[in-house]
Chains A and B, each alone.
Chain A
Amino acid sequence: MEALKELLFKMADDSLVIGHRMGEWTGIAPMMEEDLAFSSIAQDKLGHANTLYDMLHELGEADADTLGFLRSANEFRNCQFVELPIGDYDFSLVRHFLFDNAEFIRYKHLANSSHEPLAKFARKVIGEVRYHVMHGNAWMKKLGNSHTAEGLERMQQQLNFAFPYALGVFEHSPSENEIKDQGYFVGEDTVKEEWMNTIKSVIAETKLTLPENAEPVTGGRKHEHTEHLSTMLEEMSVTLRLDPSVEW
């Protein structure tokens, strides 16, 4: 049971944090159509977090709002990658591309999870995640083939910066073996291997190169976070914390 909760928590926390980060572009994305698309993807992510927290509630945890808004940063199990500030749009797009390809593979495998509510959920939302990946890949191919030196340089720099964090997505959580043994999930190593193949094949269609010998930035799955997470959580819950008993 603890292993299952661990899996659900890391996925829910990833979705909530990336959803909030992507939502920070609402109103200020570089073009209106992109504003709408990025915001919709953010909304999907928040919806996924909500469903996963509901699943945890069914297993005896607090309700979704409490889990999402009222825990402190050191209780979160998201990878550090998702909590980094949005930066310029180049970074946000590179993160979207790297992170969502991992999500897509994760959900494809989760469709066979032994925890039936999770399997059902994965089968239901796979189409949403598919669109997220189509969107991320399309931009990566476009900007990764930029006609200007500045454009290419910026994308390459963001890829170099983001890649070690992206490898941290696959950090094992303490119960990794049990998660696999119980059939909840195929495990991070399998996802990482398939993810590398996908990322390589998309990058091969651009003028960019993947950094070599990158060391994963880990810690998130063990509750270790950058200072950015607590700042974000504070902003996210500022209204609710004024009076948590208010009915919305």
Chain B
Amino acid sequence: MASDHPVTGWLHAVAEKDRTAFAELYQATAPKLLGVILRILKDRARAEDILQESFIKVWQRAALFDETRSSPITWLVSIARNSAIDALRKQPVEREGQESDIDEIPSRSPNVIDRIDDLQAQARLNRCFEELDKDRADMVRLAYLNGWTRDALADYFEQPVNTVKTWLHRALKQLKRCLDS
């Protein structure tokens, strides 16, 4: 249950401006959020700036967290991802990063922090991804995890941008059907 999640408790306390809870929340979640941001922005210093920005937002917005609508980790990761993607769109990284992005695709390395995530959800998502064509599954991963734009995907997969958009929409709809069923 989400309400049993320690992160939920910390977020509720942070909403009341509890600094101790904020420190505990940071200790528990900052490495994960930095991992998310760094994968998108590549640059360590820039990623830490965005991590700082993200935690300031967490401090400010904790009262808006609604455990009936989001898991606490998902809520935190969304703040970090949105901040990182906004920063990336405003100032794109060099293209060199892309080859290493490709190398990262097949990696599946569950780690300790996964325990606080929903393992069933992970298994279900993996199963639904396996039902997608590999190219489309890779597109979704590269966009979500690495922040690739439609244009970057079009270049890499050697397809027109509109085709990429169509593929993404089909993949997303297929994922939705599979996940919601």
Partners in one complex: no
By a beta-carbon cutoff of 8 Å, the part of chain A in contact with chain B is none
By a beta-carbon cutoff of 8 Å, the part of chain B in contact with chain A is none
